[in-house]
Amino acid sequence: MKHPYDIERDMRYLQLLAQSFPTVADASTEIINLQAILNLPKGTEHFLADIHGESEAFQHVLKNASGNIKRKVNDLFGNELRESEKKELCTLIYYPEQKLELVKAQEEDINDWYHITLHQLVKVCRDVSSKYTRSKVRKSLPSDFSYIIQELLHERAEDSNKTAYVNVITDTIVSTGRADDFIIALAHVIQRLAIDQLHILGDVYDRGPGAHIIMDTLERYHSWDIQWGNHDILWMGACAGNDACICTVIRLSLRYGNLSVIEDGYGINLLPLATFAMETYGDDPCTEFIPKVCDGLDEKTIRLASLMHKAIAIMQFKEEAKLFEKHPKWNMKDREMLNFINYETGECTIDGKPLKMSSNHFPTIDPKRPNVLSKGEEELLEKLRNSFRLSEKLHRHIRIQLNHGCMYSVYNNNLLFHASVPLNEDGSLKEVEIYPGRKYKGKELMHNIGIMIRTAFQSDSDAKERRYAIDYFLYLWLGKDSPLFDKAKMTTFERYFFKDKAIYHEEKGVYFKLRDNEEVVDRILDAFDVKGTNRHIINGHVPVHVVKGENPIKANGKLLVIDGGFSEAYHQETGIAGYTLVYHSRGLQLVQHEPFTSAADAIKRGTDIKSTTQIVEMSAHRMLVADTDKGVELNQQIKDLEELLYAYRHGYINEREPKK
C-alpha cells in the first residue's frame, strides 16, 4: 500500500516522539492544540538598541511596553476615566510597589479604591492576555495567585450568573489583607504579557551607570535575545583577559565620569589605579582628561578621575600597539600612535604632518621603546587583570550574553545586527580575513566571528586559537573591517591631544554610505537567506540625527535604524531619546521617545516617556502565529504528529497506555 511517509527512515524519531505521545488520543489532542495556537494573533516583539547603561530609562520602556500599555488603557477606558485617572492607573501598572505607598498615604477610602482598581487591572490584564493560550498565560502567573487570576480573567462580572462569584473574590482579596500583593502581582503579569519577545540589537554597556542592573533585569526576563554590539564585545574582551580591552573599559568609564558599573556593579578594585595615577601624574594638570560628565562630582573627585583617566589611556595605547605589532595582517601599524610622537618637540605626525600636541608630559614612556609598559604600569595591569578575572558577577553576565546572543539573527523575516555588514565600494559583500588563512563574507563572516568569540571562553579550545580569539576582541572593537566598527580608524588619541576637530574625522565604511540603497539592502537580505515580501534589516549603532532631518526609515522602508538613544550624551546631538520598534499582529510601528526624567518623577507625578508613533508598515490582515517562524516550527510538529498517527493506525508502532 502506498502512503505519503517513509516510516522505515523515520522510525527512530517516531519512537522517540511516541514516548511523549504514547497513544492516538495523546497525539490527536496535541495536533488540535497546535492548530489552535497557529490561529492566535502574533505576539508583540519589541526591538531596542544602544541602551548604554541607562537602566532607569530601559526599565521604564519595558514597564510601559513602549507606550503599548498606555494605549490599551486609553482604548479600554476611553471616556470612562479622566485623563488623570488613566495616568494614575498606568503608573500603578509600571511601579506598583512604590505607587501603592503613595496611594495609601493619600486615599481616604482605601477599600473602595482597592475594589475599583482591582476591577480595572483585571480588565487590562484580560486584554493583554487575549492573544495567548490559557496555558501560556498560566505559566506567566505567580504561583500564589495563579488560580484566582485565572478565574478573574475567564469569568466576567457582566455575566449575571457569575456576578456574585467574581465580586466575592475581589471582596475576599481585600478583606484578607492581600490587596497590595494581588495588585503588584497583576501589574507584573500585565508587564510580562505586553511584550512577548524582546530583541536587543547591541550595546548594553558604556556611558550610563547601570549596565549591571540591565543585565540583572535581563537575567530574570522571560524571553529575549541580543545581537552583540561593539561595547558588549569590548566588555567580553575585558572579561576574557584582553589587556587592551581592560584598559579601554576603564578609560571609557572615567571619560564619562561613571565608575559605578566597574566598582559597585562588578567589584573591580580601582584603588591601585588611583594610587598609581597620583604618584605618576600628580603634578600634571591633565586638562585633556577631565571627564565629559562631571555632574555631582566635587573638584577633588574630578581631579583624581582626570589623573586616573590619563594613566589608563597611556596604558591602553601601549597595549593596543602590542597587538597591532603581534598581528600585522590587521594592517593597523599606522595606529601605533606613541611611535609618531617627537618627545623633545612635543609634536606628533598625523597623516604625514607634524602637529603640536596640547601637552607633552609622558613620565611612563621611554622614547626609544614607547609601547613598553613601565614597571609600575606592569604591576598595575596585573592587579587590574586579576580584578576582572575574579569578578564572578561580570563572568555571569557575560555568560548570559553568550547564551542569549550572537552576531546576527533572522527573526520573522527581519535581519537583526548591531552595526554593519562589510561591503566593497560597488555594494557587493566584502571578504574579510578573521584568522590567518580564513576569509569570509556576509552571513559566513558573521557566523564565524560568533564562533571565534565563543572560542575565547572555551577551555577545551585549541590554545593558539583561543589566544588569537582573545586578541581579536580588540580588532572587533576598532578594526577597519570589523562589522561592529566599520570605520577607517578610531581617533581616540587625536581627540585627547589635538584641538583641531578636523583630524577627529572617522571615515565610515561603505555599508553606512549605501544603506539607503534598496538594491544593496536586498542583496544583503538575499545573502542572509531572509525570505518574504515584507523583509527588513533592523540595526542600531549610529544615532539618528532627527534635528538635522535624518529619517530612521531607509531603503524604501527595508532598513530601519533604531539606535535607542538612551544615553544622555546623545540627546543634544540627536534631539530625541531614540526609538523603539514594535512589531505586533497588525504591523510594524516605530516609537520615537523624548528623554526620560527619572523613575522617581514617574512615580510621584505620573510622568511617562512621551512617545510619538510612526507607522512603518501595516499588515493587510491581522498576523497570526501561523505567519511567523514559530508557525513554521509548529506546522512541522503537526506533520510529525500526523506521521506518528499513521504509524499507530497501521501497526508500525504500538500504542502504549501510560502507567497509572
For the chain, the domains span 10-40+628-650, 45-202+540-623
The string over 444-478, giving b where at least 16 C-beta atoms fall within 10 Å of a residue's C-beta and e elsewhere, is ebbebbbebbebbbeeebeeeebebbbbbbbbbbb
Tell whether the torsion through CA atoms of 543, 547, 553 and 554 is positive or negative. negative
Confidence at residue 657, expressed as pLDDT on a 0 to 100 scale: 76
Please give the Cα distance from 510 to 419 (Å, whole number).
12
Q: Please say whether the dihedral angle defined by the alpha carbons of residues 442, 445, 451 and 457, taken in this order, is positive or negative.
A: negative
Is pLDDT at 182 greater than 60 in this prediction?
A: yes
User: Each residue of 80-124: pLDDT tens digit?
Assistant: 899 889 889 999 999 999 999 999 998 889 999 999 999 999 999
Radius of gyration (C-alpha) of the chain in whole angstroms: 28
Is 173 strand, coil or helix?
helix
pTM of the model: 0.92
Q: Confidence class of residue 543 from pLDDT cuts 50, 70 and 90?
A: confident
Which tens digits make up the pLDDT trace of 362-408?
A: 999 999 999 999 999 999 999 999 999 999 999 999 999 999 999 99
CA–CA distance, 57 with 281 (Å, rounded to integer): 37
Q: Does 184 or 151 have the greater pLDDT score?
A: 184
pLDDT at 5: 86
Q: CA 125 to CA 140: how far, in whole Å?
A: 12
User: What is the reported pLDDT for 618?
Assistant: 78
Q: Give the per-residue pLDDT at 593.
A: 63
> Hey, is 657 helix, strand or coil?
coil
The pLDDT value given to residue 487: 96
pLDDT digits (tens, 9 = 90+) for 567-597: 555 444 433 356 788 898 888 888 876 666 6
Nearest to 518 by CA among 541, 530, 536: 536
3-state SS, residue 200: strand
Is residue 340's pLDDT more than 70?
yes
**Helix, coil or strand: residue 559:** strand
Question: Which residue type occupies 362?
Answer: F
Cα separation of 203 and 205, whole Å?
A: 5
Res 620: pLDDT? 75
Provide CB contacts within 8 A for 496, sequence distance 6+. Answer: 288, 289, 313, 358
Give the tens place of pLDDT for each residue, 589-643: 888 766 666 667 766 665 555 555 666 677 778 899 999 999 999 999 999 999 9
Task: Tell me the one-letter amino acid at 262.
Answer: I
Mean pLDDT of 187-205: 94
| Span 208-221, average pLDDT | 94
Is 418 strand, coil or helix? coil
Pick the closest to residue 469 from 430, 421, 418, 434 (CA basis): 434
pLDDT for the residue numbered 573: 44
The model's pLDDT over 410-455, given as tens digits with 9 standing for 90+, comes to: 999 999 999 999 999 999 999 999 999 999 999 999 999 999 999 9
pLDDT at 600: 72
Average pLDDT, the chain: 90
pLDDT at 167: 83
pLDDT of residue 589: 85
Extended strands (E) in 61-114:
none
